[in-house]
Amino acid sequence: MAERAYLDWNATAPLRPQAREAWQDALAVVGNPSSVHAEGRAARRLIEQAREDVAHLVGARPADVIFTASGTEANMLALSPAIETGGEKRPRDRLLISAIEHASVRAGGRFPREAIEDIPVDADGRVDLAALAEAMSRALSRASRPLVSIMLANNETGVVQPVADAAAIVHAAKGLLHVDAVQAAGRVPCDMDSLGADLLTLSGHKIGGPKGAGALVRANEGIHFADPLIRGGGQERGLRAGTENVAGIAAFGAAAAAARRQMAEEAAHMLELRDRLEAGLKAISPPAVIFGAAADRLPNTTLFAAPGMKAETAVIAFDLEGVALSSGAACSSGKVQPSHVLAAMGVSAALRGAVRVSLGWTTTQADVEMFLGAWRKRTTALSKGGIAA
């Protein structure tokens, strides 16, 4: 049996071999992609190849991919009041976001706090489309120009959002839709056209690329950012200045190409193991609750809680047993906050200390067994001595 089971793929995935190779090759290229000489052109070629591969993953044109340093940064670039479409230059005055977005969207980008409005989710963690429609019709009646941000899959529950339906509502009211696809990419199809996304965020390290590379993809050239994120040398269409992270971007591109080629096979592999994991989890502890189980979910994610279980203690206990996973709760400045996702789903405070297990393409049956062994021990300890699992 493996010494450790890494089951925290939603936090970050291991580097794919194709990405490692692309990264190492790119490190040997000396040029600055902005230089006109042969060395510079060689670096530029690596970036443009990566742009093609990333575009291909989401069915976009390479010219519409803007590389950033992370998914967080791509979200920051996307959430701007100064996005012009169809020649209309009036600022977007309202940002509507689902109540379960990642912190990098919940922060609101460059919108003032008072312009941000939450759209609720149902008990299964799916965005409430009727509430979205109401908010959009309010915006339309005020001649407002809203930007809407809805993630494709939630990082805690794995619940896949009805993005195409949301897009129809948003577009009918003349809104613009940004989709954070950081957790969905490489696990479920992310074709921008089918989703109806106007802007879409990706992060390299979640799909087997290195940390420090992300992208914002726009649906077409008619979407214009009048407010660059970083001004300077004009890189990335003037939206994100600074000499590019050539090796990181090249490796991100290689990871995107591999993720696209292998998605169907990897998703089936993860789903099979995840189903076994959930069946084992419930067999050991019937009262355990798996959040979003009734909804369409990513094939790799399980967020669960059990009566009496304390997430922070459980994560440490699993780690000591050789299993790496995380709590659904966010830890900031040393204080563990209850999950805003579970709170939005109306989960009682007693069950909000949930634990997230997330699998990946190299996860094995032995990893699942290791998790179940550790869970059996915690459950026994909990029932014997009232020790918090």
Judged by CB, which is closer to ligand PLP: 55, or 182?
182
> Nearest distance from residue 11's CB to ligand PLP, in Å?
7
Is 331 catalytic? The answer is yes
Among positions 7, 26, 65, 70, the unique one binding ligand PLP when judged by CB under 6 A: 70
User: With respect to ligand PLP, which residue has the nearer C-beta, 153 or 267?
Assistant: 153
Residue ranges of alpha helices (H) inside 63-184 are 71-78, 103-106, 129-141, 163-172
Residue 91 to residue 113: CA distance in whole angstroms: 15
Candidates 43, 150, 151, 173; binder of ligand PLP (CB under 6 A) is: 151
Among 16, 44, 51, 102, binds ligand PLP (CB under 6 A): 102
How would you classify the pairing of strands 94-98 and 146-149? parallel
CA angle, 377 then 283 then 385, to 5°: 35
| Residues making up the chain, counted from first to last | 389
**Residue from 157, 203, 326, 327 that binds ligand PLP (CB under 6 A)?**
203
Question: Does the footprint of ligand PLP cover residue 340 (CB under 6 A)?
Answer: no
Residue 182 makes contact with ligand PLP by CB under 6 A:
yes
Contact flag: residue 19 with ligand PLP (CB under 6 A): no
Between 102 and 274, whose beta carbon lies closer to ligand PLP? 102
- Helix 163-172 to helix 129-141 angle (10° resolution) is 20
Dump the DSSP string for 188-210. S---HHHHT-SEEEEEGGGTTS-
**Planar angle of CA 361, 362, 366, nearest 5 degrees:** 125
Residue with the shortest CB distance to ligand PLP: 71
Catalytic residue (one of 331, 337, 346, 366): 331
Return the number of the residue (72 or 144) whose C-beta is nearest ligand PLP: 72
- Provide the Cα torsion 84, 89, 93, 96; round to 10°: -20
For ligand PLP (CB under 6 A), the number of binding residues is: 12
CB of 206 to ligand PLP, least distance (A): 7
Compute the least distance from the CB of residue 350 to ligand PLP, in Å. 26
Strands 199-203 and 214-218, sheet pairing: antiparallel
Distance of alpha carbon 142 from alpha carbon 115, whole angstroms: 14
Residue for token pair 């949301």? 166
Is 71 a binding residue for ligand PLP by CB under 6 A? The answer is yes
> What is the binding site for ligand PLP (CB under 6 A)?
70-72, 102, 104, 151, 155, 180, 182-183, 203, 214
- Active centre residues (catalytic): 331
